């Protein structure tokens, strides 16, 4: 029941993001309210996480209210360069800079992908003869939760490049109607702080293939393409654009053509699943686990890295509840009790995982996977 709610929630959330992406605040508001309603229902159903869900519901209601306040059809600002707003853009863009602490070792499996990405990034940033033109853009595609964001963070972490972490739907919603301006400022700041990597997650939000594409989305995409094109990769001033999507078939030809290097990030195979379990159980005793069996079951269930990570947290929680019965005692968990609560641990057991497996479902079907593989075969670029 709970998982039904959660998958509905995920669906509405996706639709909300899509609606924002295509610049449809009314639909987005509607979906935000639906998300809030589901979270409230969950708050009733899962007493242990009541506060948690209510808090989330509230933030969705807030998002809905903000959309209401927005003019339905914003007037394009053209090239007005009001000092105030320029500053505001800069502040926002500088806020996108993140320091990555992710290393290649935090990513299980994907050995070929890591190598390919590391090579291409190195190629882009290395000193080279003028005749060698670096790639300006790299596309990562594959099912959700397979590590695309992680890979981008690791790529940035491995270089001393300034890393701008951008979510396309955020850009479109935050500066609704003026997101194209924001993209220009983003590239301007990235050049100033070069060498830089601009990572645009969920780049499919900038697609024009869908119905009812808003003018703002159209302009934003045009600006992005122009920024990528207009850029001469001159040495130190290099800016690499890394984009990721879970729905590569939604991307426009114009965008795809700027990303000749397309890297498929697939679901983990058995070996990768095993590595991901190891990463997410670091520091705990796993000697009693049959990692082979856990990996096999994860693959059979079409788990992504995210689901395997969730599986591990769930198993770890089960272990903790088992040896710390006081965790069920709400009284003790209130502020006074927490300070002297010393958590005990025991080795992880297969039973912890068996229980966790029952709770975690992959959102994917075999058919979905085939769709990725087919796209990879047809358009997959140099993978
Ligand atoms: N290959 C992997 N190795 C380790 N953890 C992973 C891997 N793939 C996914 N995860 C876990 O799942 C989470 C979500 O992954 P993310 O990179 O955001 O996926 P994507 O961007 O492809 O949707 C990560 O933060 C990490 O905890
Ligand atoms: Mg991601």
CA 379 – ligand 2 centroid, Å? 21
The pLDDT of residue 23: 73
Q: β-pairing, 137-141 with 196-201?
A: unpaired
Q: Residues lining ligand 1, judged by CB closer than 6 Å? A: 107-110, 144-150, 244, 276, 279, 305-306, 309
The pLDDT of residue 83: 36
Contact (CB, 8 A) for 354 and 294:
no
Ligand 1: which of 114, 147, 271 to mutate, judged by most atoms within 8 Å of the beta carbon? 147
The pLDDT of residue 232: 59
Residue closest via CA to ligand 1's atom 13 equals: 306
Closest by CA position to 196, among listed 148, 233, 149, 244: 233
d(CA 225, CA 107) in angstroms, rounded, equals 30
The pLDDT of residue 234: 56
Atom of ligand 1 nearest to the CA of 268: 1
CA 167 – ligand 2 centroid, Å? 9
**pTM of the model as a whole:** 0.76
User: How many other β-carbons are positioned within 10 Å of the β-carbon of residue 10?
Assistant: 14
The pLDDT of residue 77: 44
d(CA 200, CA 170) in angstroms, rounded, equals 10
CA 232 – ligand 2 centroid, Å? 29
Q: Which domains does the chain have, with CATH numbers?
A: 2-69 (1.20.58), 83-267+373-379 (3.40.50.300), 270-363 (1.10.8.60)
The pLDDT of residue 110: 96
Ligand 1: which of 150, 156, 363 to mutate, judged by most atoms within 8 Å of the beta carbon? 150
The pLDDT of residue 166: 93
Q: What does the block give as tokens for 79? A: 């090239």
Q: Per-residue pLDDT tens for 78-131? A: 444 433 477 888 998 999 998 878 899 999 999 999 999 998 888 888 888 888
Contact (CB, 8 A) for 371 and 249:
yes
d(CA 186, CA 39) in angstroms, rounded, equals 35
What would the DSSP string read from start to end of 263-288? EE-----HHHHHHHHHHHTTTS--TT
CA 253 – ligand 1 centroid, Å? 27
Which stretches of the chain score pLDDT less than 50?
72-84, 383
């Amino acid at each position: 029941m709970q998982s039904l709610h959660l998958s509905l929630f995920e669906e509405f959330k996706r639709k909300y993001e899509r609606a924002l992406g295509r610049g449809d605040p009314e639909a987005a508001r509607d979906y935000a309210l639906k998300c809030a309603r589901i979270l409230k229902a969950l708050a009733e159903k899962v007493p242990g996480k009541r506060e948690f869900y209510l808090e989330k519901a509230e933030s969705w209601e807030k998002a809905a209210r903000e959309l209401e306040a927005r003019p339905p059809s914003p007037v394009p600002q053209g090239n007005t360069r009001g000092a105030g707003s320029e500053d505001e853009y800069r502040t926002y863009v500088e806020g996108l800079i993140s320091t990555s602490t992710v290393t290649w070792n935090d990513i299980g499996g994907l050995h070929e992908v890591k190598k390919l990405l590391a090579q291409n990034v190195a190629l882009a940033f290395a000193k080279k003869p003028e005749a060698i033109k670096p790639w300006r853009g790299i596309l990562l595609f594959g099912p959700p939760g397979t590590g695309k964001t992680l890979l981008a963070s690791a790529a940035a972490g491995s270089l001393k490049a300034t890393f701008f972490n951008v979510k396309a739907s955020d850009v479109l919603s935050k500066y609704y109607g003026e997101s194209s301006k924001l993209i220009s400022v983003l590239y301007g700041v990235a050049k100033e702080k070069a060498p830089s990597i601009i990572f645009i997650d969920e780049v499919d939000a900038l697609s024009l293939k869908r119905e009812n594409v808003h003018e703002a989305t159209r302009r934003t995409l045009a600006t992005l393409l122009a920024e990528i094109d207009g850029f001469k990769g001159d040495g130190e001033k290099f800016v690499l654009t890394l984009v990721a999507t879970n729905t590569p078939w939604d991307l426009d030809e114009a965008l795809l053509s700027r990303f000749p290097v397309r890297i498929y990030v697939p679901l983990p195979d058995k070996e990768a699943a095993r590595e991901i379990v190891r990463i997410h159980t670091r520091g705990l005793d796993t000697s009693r686990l049959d990692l082979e069996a856990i990996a096999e079951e994860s693959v059979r269930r079409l788990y992504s890295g995210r689901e395997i990570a969730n599986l591990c947290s769930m198993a770890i929680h089960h272990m903790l509840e088992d040896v710390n019965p006081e965790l069920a005692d709400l009284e003790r968990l209130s502020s006074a009790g927490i300070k002297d609560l010393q958590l005990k641990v025991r080795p992880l057991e297969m039973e912890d995982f068996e229980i966790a497996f029952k709770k975690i479902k992959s959102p994917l079907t075999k058919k979905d996977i085939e769709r990725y593989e087919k796209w990879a075969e047809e358009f997959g670029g140099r993978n």
